[in-house]
Structure 1
Amino acid sequence: MRFGVNYTPSEGWFHHWLDFDLDSVRADLDALAALGLDHIRVFPLWPYFQPNRALIRPRAIDQLVALADAAAERGLDVNVDGLQGHVSSFDFLPAWTRTWHRRNLFTDRDVSDGQAAYLRTLAAALADRPNFIGMTVGNEVNQFAADPHPDPDRITAEDAGRWLTLMLAACAEGAPGRIHQHASYDAAWYQDDQPFTPGHSARLGDLTAVHSWVFNGTAQRHGADSVPVEHHAAYLVELSKAWADTAHRPVWLQEVGAPAPLVPAGRAAAFAEATIGNVLDCPDLWGVTWWCSYDVSRDLADFPELEYSLGLLTGDRRPKDIAAALAEAARQPYATPTVRGTALVVPADPARRSRCAPGGTVFDAYFRLVADGVRPTTVLDVRADDKEHLAVRGITEVVTPDQVLPTPQGGR
């Protein structure tokens, strides 16, 4: 079981790449290693590293390698996100994809060739480092492909699948044998018209990554100390298994955090303890990577308010109570959880995936089961009668949402 953190530098946020200070990075990593964590997820900002389609800056690559080596000296492994892409409400796209040079990020051949070259270069630069876990194609790149983005690059699900296959192949060419995957925000699981689908997340790449944020309506509907809030990460892990083609595909809880004020600061540590405890009860979990390492400095403008306080540590590297909660979880011996034998049926049709979102019938039925003491997983409706599939997964009971939820008033 892996425990780590998404590395947001204490000085300069991700803009630190413009004024890279290895001594500051080392001090940051010292404080993270002291918590007993074993890995970090690192975010090069794409326009800083590849400002022109034909220019991948050698000095930027050298700085990334230096950061990875500093992490290795402190016993930390490194996963690298390539296409940033989108982070903390800001878009970071190179000028050669926008305005006068506007080209679709996912279907334009020149853009795809440039992206693939960039990912291949990053992966190759770290391929010989023992502490290099592998590449994530990019951070929540699916948000560029549909509403509510203000200026989306419209594509089909087929386009998304082709693009992901090409990008993952570039990562593997640069660093064969490493773990390479991609990461979507939860619209992939919840939004009917999102072209990046649950199948893409659960079938492409070496493992499935899920990002759990309870500001998606879960906390607003149910409250900070509710069953859905404390089990939301576990729900996404188990929801992903319905679409996986292999019974024990690893799932990485790659982002989870305690967003104030929906999760009040005084409850953040308890939220972390509950979330981690519940997700550790999910079989086939690869690891937990908390968002994030350091608070965003109040000297930086225009972030959403919640982004300023998500760190495990303050900007002057002092650990908060929530850091102690993660450190304690990392110290505890890991016991492999038992199989989840009860499966809730979910629609295989991506155009009906909103039933899995907060307020949907699948979502509500899942948490009704949890509240009743059941440890549910999920199964696609097209596999619900497949005895071989159920047996391989250890599923002994299949239930539908209408068997779990009370009949609405009036019998409808």
Structure 2
Amino acid sequence: MPPAVRFGVNYTPSEGWFHHWLDFDLDAVRADLDSIAALGLDHIRVFPLWPYFQPNRALIRPRAVEQLVALADAAAERGLDVNVDGLQGHLSSFDFLPAWTQTWHRRNIFTDPEVVEGEAAYLRTLAAALADRPNFIGMTIGNEVNQFAAGPHPDPDRITPEQAGAWLRRLLDACEEGAPGKLHLHASYDAAWYQDDQPFTPEHSARLGAVTAVHSWVFNGTAQRHGRTGVATEHHAAYLIELSKAWADDPHRPVWLQEVGAPAPLIPAEHAAAFTEATVANALDCPDVWGVTWWCSHDVSRDLADFPELEYSLGLLTSDRRTKPAGEAIARIVKEGRPHAPATRTTALVVDAGPGRSVCAPGGPVFEAFARLTADGVRPTTVLANRADDKEHLAARGIDEVLTPDQVTQ
């Protein structure tokens, strides 16, 4: 039997959002974790804010690290495992970079040797503090750190793909040094798969770290183009899972759907539960899924200002810890214990990214051909053009039919 799929949630504290680290209240955290555990979930993804934990390159605040460990221990008491994202980094439209990387001290966070060693020390410290906790899954380097490396970020630290790869390897090594044998990974937003000039590449996502992480957000042009109930919209997460496999060297590399949510108004509140059900069901029809981690646990409180409107309504629970329809949908899926033994996807769509990764983006030929095949009842996966005639590779993945986008859409 294949291993069971993990179901979890990205933990957004109901009181103070991620600023709760400034006024850490373990009782409030425990109440949040109780409401998460009541949904039947088995893990949370946790976000220390980097400037709060490492305000100076040579100062990783011991008290902040102790609070992180206390949160992890409280989660363990409720049967919840914990993944920790270290470099925050970017969350819900806000950037959190320490002062020692900005303005008068401006240095490239990916290439400056002192900055990188400071980052490595920070990640190593967090990992080591949790290494002996049985419920510690491992480290994610940071949340969508690739957004700092290219536009549309207003002030990017530009690097080459080679520099991005070197940075990822150094920091993954630091996580392993702190907590040997744990599941350490990195996470990019979908520009890694869709944006031609993004230096964090599909190869990085699909080949570095213990698993491949994908973050699925249909406000990227998918829902605008295909509508809230469109095949491409309800299968966007599944598409990213299968798209990642084109670049993976391991034919059965695990893929973690690490972020996925129902963003209003493209997904209206009254449709959030149906979207959640469909998205999860379609993701579970993909082989080799490690887990599904919804964004997010609790709504952002209306007491906090300046968030994009959609951020106030993404939770499975309200900011006063009441379960919303999407939360009920997730709880129902978990309770049903749907077995994860999907059939092999035997039809592969050829991905030729030579012209650029935008061929895979919403509106691109690969994206639209995948949606067409799915609408026709086919369960496609993807294969790189330079592997499309590799019989050994195809056999290892169980692929017996290879189609180009032109063959699908003509």
Structure 2 Cα separation of the partners of residues 203 and 332 of structure 1: 33
Does the 8 Å CA contact 2:86/2:140 hold for their aligned counterparts? yes
Equivalent position to 1:129, from 124, 133, 136:
133
Structure 2 Cα separation of the partners of residues 248 and 229 of structure 1: 25
Structure 1 Cα separation of the partners of residues 95 and 220 of structure 2: 19
| 1:278 has 2:278 as partner | no
Equivalent position to 1:114, from 105, 114, 118:
118
Deviation at 1:217, TM superposition (A): 0.2
State the match for 1:343 in structure 2.
348
Matches within 5 A, 1:84-99: 84-99=88-103
Equivalent position to 1:382, from 369, 381, 386:
386
Structure 1 Cα separation of the partners of residues 397 and 389 of structure 2: 13
Equivalent position to 1:159, from 148, 163, 168:
163
Q: Secondary structure at the match of 1:63?
A: helix
Structure 2 Cα separation of the partners of residues 392 and 277 of structure 1: 25
Q: Secondary structure at the match of 2:356?
A: helix
* TM-score (norm: length of structure 2): 0.98
Does the 8 Å CA contact 1:84/1:92 hold for their aligned counterparts? yes
Q: Secondary structure at the match of 1:252?
A: strand
Structure 2 Cα separation of the partners of residues 203 and 126 of structure 1: 25
Which residue type is aligned with residue 350 of structure 2? Answer: V
Structure 2 Cα separation of the partners of residues 275 and 153 of structure 1: 34
| 1:320 has 2:324 as partner | yes
Does the 8 Å CA contact 2:300/2:319 hold for their aligned counterparts? yes
Does the 8 Å CA contact 2:44/2:81 hold for their aligned counterparts? yes
| 1:56 has 2:60 as partner | yes
Which residue type is aligned with residue 62 of structure 2? Answer: P
Q: Secondary structure at the match of 2:290?
A: strand
Structure 1 Cα separation of the partners of residues 335 and 361 of structure 2: 33
Which residue type is aligned with residue 336 of structure 1? Answer: A
Equivalent position to 2:38, from 34, 38, 58:
34
Q: How many corresponding residue pairs? A: 405
Which residue type is aligned with residue 156 of structure 2? Answer: P
Equivalent position to 1:139, from 120, 124, 143:
143
Q: Secondary structure at the match of 2:57?
A: coil
* TM-score (norm: length of structure 1): 0.98
Structure 2 Cα separation of the partners of residues 301 and 31 of structure 1: 25
Which residue type is aligned with residue 325 of structure 2? Answer: D
Sequence identity percentage: 80
- After superposition, what is the alpha-carbon deviation per residue over 1:8-39, rounded to whole angstroms, capped at 9, x for unaligned? 00000000000000000000000100110000
| 1:238 has 2:238 as partner | no
Equivalent position to 2:364, from 360, 364, 368:
360
Q: Secondary structure at the match of 1:183?
A: coil
Does the 8 Å CA contact 2:53/2:61 hold for their aligned counterparts? yes
Structure 1 Cα separation of the partners of residues 323 and 341 of structure 2: 29
Does the 8 Å CA contact 1:136/1:180 hold for their aligned counterparts? yes
Q: Secondary structure at the match of 1:105?
A: coil
- After superposition, what is the alpha-carbon deviation per residue over 1:148-196, rounded to whole angstroms, capped at 9, x for unaligned? 0000000000000000000000000000000000000000000000000
State the match for 2:315 in structure 1.
311
Does the 8 Å CA contact 1:81/1:137 hold for their aligned counterparts? yes
State the match for 2:291 in structure 1.
287
Q: Secondary structure at the match of 2:228?
A: coil
Structure 2 Cα separation of the partners of residues 316 and 340 of structure 1: 42
Structure 2 Cα separation of the partners of residues 146 and 387 of structure 1: 37
Equivalent position to 1:24, from 20, 24, 28:
28
Structure 1: runs of 5+ lacking an equivalent:
407-412
Does the 8 Å CA contact 2:353/2:359 hold for their aligned counterparts? no
Equivalent position to 1:2, from 2, 6, 13:
6
Which residue type is aligned with residue 307 of structure 1? Answer: E
Q: Secondary structure at the match of 1:115?
A: helix
Structure 2 Cα separation of the partners of residues 354 and 60 of structure 1: 41
Does the 8 Å CA contact 1:8/1:292 hold for their aligned counterparts? yes
Structure 2 Cα separation of the partners of residues 163 and 343 of structure 1: 32
Which consecutive aligned stretches of 4+ in structure 1 deviate over 6 angstroms post-superposition? none
Structure 1 Cα separation of the partners of residues 114 and 330 of structure 2: 43
Q: Which moved more, 1:335-344 or 1:133-142?
A: 335-344
Deviation at 1:335, TM superposition (A): 3.3
| 1:73 has 2:107 as partner | no
Does the 8 Å CA contact 1:208/1:252 hold for their aligned counterparts? yes
Deviation at 1:348, TM superposition (A): 4.4
Structure 2 Cα separation of the partners of residues 348 and 392 of structure 1: 22
Does the 8 Å CA contact 1:348/1:382 hold for their aligned counterparts? no
Equivalent position to 1:254, from 258, 261, 279:
258
Structure 1 Cα separation of the partners of residues 325 and 301 of structure 2: 19
Structure 2 Cα separation of the partners of residues 352 and 397 of structure 1: 24
Structure 2 Cα separation of the partners of residues 176 and 206 of structure 1: 12
Structure 1 Cα separation of the partners of residues 246 and 335 of structure 2: 31
